[in-house]
Amino acid sequence: MRGTSIFFSHTVTNQSHTLHEYRTRGGYGGLTRALTGGMQPADVEKEVMASGLQGRGGAGFPVGTKWSFVNKKSPVIYLACNADEGEPGTFKDRWILEHSPHQLIEGVLLASYALGVRHAFIYIRGEFDLPLRRLQGALDEARHAGLVGERIFGTEFSCDIVIHRGAGAYVCGEESSLLNSLEGRKGFPRNKPPFPAVKGLYQRPTVVNNVESLATVPWIIVNGGAAYAAIGVKKNPGTRLFGISGHVERPGLYERPTGYPLKKIIEVDAGGVLGGRRLKAVIPGGSSTPILTAAEIVNVTLDVESMVRAGSMMGSGGIIVIAEGTCMVRLLQVLTRFYAHESCGQCTPCREGTDWMNRILERILAGRGVAGDLAALRAIPAGIMGNTVCALGDAASMPVLSFIKKFGAEFDYFVEHGRSMNAGRLAA
pLDDT tens per residue, range 90-138: 999 999 999 999 999 999 999 999 999 999 999 999 999 999 999 999 9
Residue 136 three-state SS: helix
User: Which domains, and CATH codes, for the chain?
Assistant: 19-230 (3.40.50.11540), 235-323 (3.10.20.600), 328-417 (1.20.1440.230)
Question: What pLDDT is attached to residue 423?
Answer: 63
pLDDT tens per residue, range 140-197: 999 999 999 999 999 999 999 999 999 989 999 999 999 999 999 999 999 999 999 9
Distance CA 364, CA 400 (A): 14
Provide the whole-model pTM: 0.94
pLDDT tens per residue, range 389-419: 999 999 999 999 999 999 999 999 999 999 9
Residue 283 three-state SS: strand
Between strands 252-257 and 239-246, the pairing is antiparallel
Distance CA 24, CA 110 (A): 19
Let me know: does 260 contact 306? Beta carbons within 8 Å: no
Q: Is the pLDDT of residue 9 over 90?
A: no
Let me know: does 10 contact 255? Beta carbons within 8 Å: no
Distance from chain centroid for Cα 189: 18
Mean pLDDT, the chain, rounded, equals: 95
Question: What pLDDT is attached to residue 2?
Answer: 44
pLDDT tens per residue, range 35-87: 999 999 999 999 999 999 999 988 889 999 999 999 999 999 999 999 999 99
pLDDT tens per residue, range 213-234: 999 999 999 999 999 999 999 9
